[in-house]
Amino acid sequence: MQQPNYEEVWGHAFVATNCPHCDWIYLTVPAQATMVCPHCGQATLEPLTAEDELPYTRPPELLLLPGISRQNMEGALGRFANEVPYPPDDLTSNNLLGRLQLVYLPMWLVDVDVSADWQAEVGY
């Protein structure tokens, strides 16, 4: 089985990756293909080969992209870090920015038409 051309199908160049620890599959951008697994944090993602069968290869109907700029994120993290009373030494906006990780969480919406008959009796 051949992997689809993700750039052609999804409109973005993706690399299919897998976590060897928890077995979750991700489509990541090439720059993040060797990141730590966002699900378990235990292992580095490994690229999948063409022989691996991917469960979902069809593109999504809608895709939510990040809606906040880096400057706004830096400001929000700085305000958060400054508002914590008695923060630990490593709670800084730079450390928080370094730990940020964008994760796509899929959600499926299903359209359906249903017709049903319902009858009930109530008694004591």
- Asked whether residue 10 falls in the same domain as residue 53, the answer is yes
This prediction's pTM: 0.52
The string of pLDDT tens digits covering residues 40-69 is 888 888 888 766 777 666 666 776 777 888
- Asked whether residue 13 falls in the same domain as residue 54, the answer is yes
Domain membership flag for residue 79 = yes
Number of domains the chain contains: 2
Domain membership flag for residue 84 = yes
- Asked whether residue 53 falls in the same domain as residue 71, the answer is no
- Give the domain extent around 81: 64-105
The string of pLDDT tens digits covering residues 3-48 is 667 677 677 777 788 889 998 888 787 877 678 888 888 888 888 8
DSSP string, the chain: -PPP-HHHHHSS--EEEE-TTT--EEEE-GGGTTSBPTTTSSSB-EEPPTTSPPS--SPPS--PPP-S-HHHHHHHHHHHHHHSSS--TT--HHHHHHH-------------------------
- Asked whether residue 68 falls in the same domain as residue 53, the answer is no
Q: Which of 45-49, 87-91, 120-124 has the highest mean pLDDT?
A: 87-91
Domain membership flag for residue 73 = yes
Domain membership flag for residue 23 = yes
- Asked whether residue 37 falls in the same domain as residue 77, the answer is no
Ramachandran bin of 77, using left for φ above 0, alpha for ψ from -120 to 50, beta for the remaining angles: alpha
Q: Is the pLDDT of residue 70 over 80?
A: yes
Domain membership flag for residue 122 = no
Higher pLDDT, 101 or 45: 45
- Asked whether residue 74 falls in the same domain as residue 51, the answer is no
Cα separation of 13 and 76, whole Å? 30
pLDDT score for 123 = 84
